Amino acid sequence: MSGTPDEPDFSGLEQGEAQQAVDIVQEVVAWYTEAISAERRAPLPDDERIARLTADRAAAYQDLARLEEADWQEEQRLAELYAARLRQLEP
């Protein structure tokens, strides 16, 4: 199920569309990288938040690596998971 017209809809992801899954996971990785950087630049950085963001980014990198060997069903599952996560992360 998609949100707004600008958000990708991965509910019908088919074999051969792995690049879309990779792209959405990379967007989430980029969001975490920016958030970590911003927190580190804050006047009083929150070390716990940095650790949490870093762990979440590491997990996203692991999923990105898994996409190299994933079948289309796993690609779809990860694409949907990360599309939902990106909607939660972005205001």
The answer, yes or no, to whether residue 8 has pLDDT greater than 70, is no
DSSP, residue by residue, 11-41: TT--TT-HHHHHHHHHHHHHHHHHHHHHHHH
Report the distance separating Cα 58 and Cα 76, nearest Å: 20
The pTM of this model reads: 0.79
| Residue 86 parent element (H or E) | helix 72-89
The answer, yes or no, to whether residue 31 has pLDDT greater than 80, is yes
pLDDT of residue 3: 46
Mean pLDDT score of the chain: 86
Report the distance separating Cα 64 and Cα 85, nearest Å: 14
Confidence of residue 7 (pLDDT cuts 50, 70, 90): low
